[in-house]
Amino acid sequence: MGQGFYATGTVMLLGAIIGGNLNCDQGRVENSDGDALFAEGIEVKGSVWLRNGFHVTGRVSLLGATIGGNLGCDQGYFEGAGGESVLASNIEVSGDVLLRRGFRAVGNVWLNGAKIGGDLNCYQGQFENAGGDAIVAQSIAVKGAVFLCQGFYTTGRVSLLGAKIGSVLDCGQGRFENPDSDALFAEGVEVRGGVLLRHGFYAVGRVSLLGATIGGNLECGQGRFENVGGDALLVDNSEIKGSVLLRNGFFAKGVVSLGGATIGGNLDCHQGRFENADGFALFVDSVAVGGAVFLSKNFYAHGRIFLQDAQIADGLYLDSAMLAPDSPTTEVDLRFARALTLADSQVKSRSQWPQPGKLRIEGFTYEKLSPDSPTDSQYRLRWLQPQHGKGRFSPQPYTQLARVLQASGHEQEATEILIGKQEAARQYGNLSRFKWFWNWFLGKTIAHGYKPTRALFMSLAVIIFGTGLFHIGYRDGWIEASDLEAYTIATAEDSSLTYPEFFPLTYSLDVFLPVIDLHQASYWIPKASLGEPVDKSIDCLSTGIRDGGVLLAYFWLQIMLGWVLTSLWVAGFTGLVRRLE
Q: What is the pLDDT of residue 320?
A: 62
DSSP letter for each residue of 497-524 = ---PPP-HHHHHHHHHSSS---SSTTTE
More confident residue, 269 or 348: 269
Other C-beta atoms lying within 10 Å of the C-beta of residue 31: 19
CA pair distance 297, 526, nearest whole angstrom? 72
Q: pLDDT per residue over 128-144, tens digit each?
A: 999 999 999 999 999 99
Residue pair 76/55 in contact by the 8 Å Cβ criterion: yes
Partners of 315 in beta bridges: 341
Burial of 521 (0-12, 13-18, 19+ CB in 10 A): buried
Whole-number mean pLDDT of the chain? 88
Q: Confidence class of residue 358 from pLDDT cuts 50, 70 and 90?
A: confident
Which range has the worst mean pLDDT, 93-97, 145-149, 346-350, 503-507? 346-350
- pLDDT number for residue 106: 97
Q: Are 199 and 172 in contact (CB under 8 A)?
A: yes
pLDDT cut 70: percent of the chain above it: 88
- Write down the pLDDT at residue 160: 98
- pLDDT score recorded for residue 391: 64
Asked if 95 and 121 count as a contact pair (C-beta separation under 8 A), the reply is: no
Between 502 and 171, where is the model more confident? 171
Which pLDDT value is given to residue 538?
47
| Residues 6 or more apart whose Cβ sits within 8 Å of residue 539 | none
Average pLDDT over residues 148-155: 97
Alpha-carbon span 353 to 366, nearest angstrom: 19
User: How are beta strands 524-526 and 479-481 bridged, if at all?
Assistant: antiparallel
| pLDDT band, residue 494 (cuts 50/70/90) | low
The CA distances from residue 510 to 107, 463, 556, in Å, are: 101, 9, 12
- Kindly tell me if the per-residue pLDDT of 447 is higher than 80: no
Cα–Cα distance for residue pair 426/415, rounded to 1 Å: 17
Beta strand pairing status for 338-343 and 120-121? unpaired
| Mean pLDDT to the nearest integer, 82-109 | 96
- C-alpha distances (whole Å) from 297 to each of 247, 320, 341 are 10, 5, 17
| Range among 286-300, 371-385, 502-516 with highest mean pLDDT value | 286-300
Taking phi over 0 as left and psi of -120 to 50 as alpha, with beta for the rest, 354 belongs to beta
569/208: higher pLDDT: 208
Please give the pLDDT value at position 380. Answer: 86
Q: Using CA atoms, how far apart are residues 242 and 259, in angstroms rounded to an integer?
A: 17
Mean pLDDT along residues 144-158: 97
Q: What's the mean pLDDT in 315-325?
A: 75
List the end-to-end C-alpha distance of the chain, in Å, as a whole number: 91
pLDDT tens digits, residue range 272-296? 999 998 899 999 999 999 999 999 8
d(C-alpha 520, C-alpha 533), whole Å: 26
Max avg pLDDT among 227-241, 458-472, 498-512: 227-241
What pLDDT score does 164 carry?
98
Most confident of the following: 59-68, 456-465, 525-534: 59-68
- H or E element in which residue 383 lies: helix 377-384
Report the C-alpha gap between 236 and 206 in whole angstroms. Answer: 13
Are the C-beta atoms of 31 and 10 separated by less than 8 Å?
yes
pLDDT band at 493 (very low <50, low <70, confident <90, very high): low
Instruction: State the pLDDT at residue 459.
Output: 86
Domain boundaries, the chain: 1-70+92-102, 262-373, 377-430, 453-571
pLDDT band at 435 (very low <50, low <70, confident <90, very high): confident
Enumerate residues 6+ apart whose C-beta is below 8 A from 98: 51, 70, 71, 72, 73, 74, 121
Predicted local distance difference test score (pLDDT) of residue 357: 61
Segment 20-76, tens digit of pLDDT: 999 999 999 999 889 999 999 999 999 999 999 999 999 999 999 999 999 999 999
Q: Which of the residue ranges 149-158, 219-228, 553-562 would you say has the lowest mean pLDDT?
A: 553-562
Check pLDDT > 80 for residue 532: no
Q: Which residue has the higher pLDDT, 51 or 419?
A: 51
Query: CA nearest 221: which of 175, 270, 282, 160?
Result: 270
Which amino acid would we find at residue 293? Answer: V
pLDDT above 50 (res 542): no
pLDDT of residue 426: 85
- Helical (H) or strand (E) element with 146: strand 146-147
Other C-beta atoms closer than 10 Å to the C-beta of 367 total 13
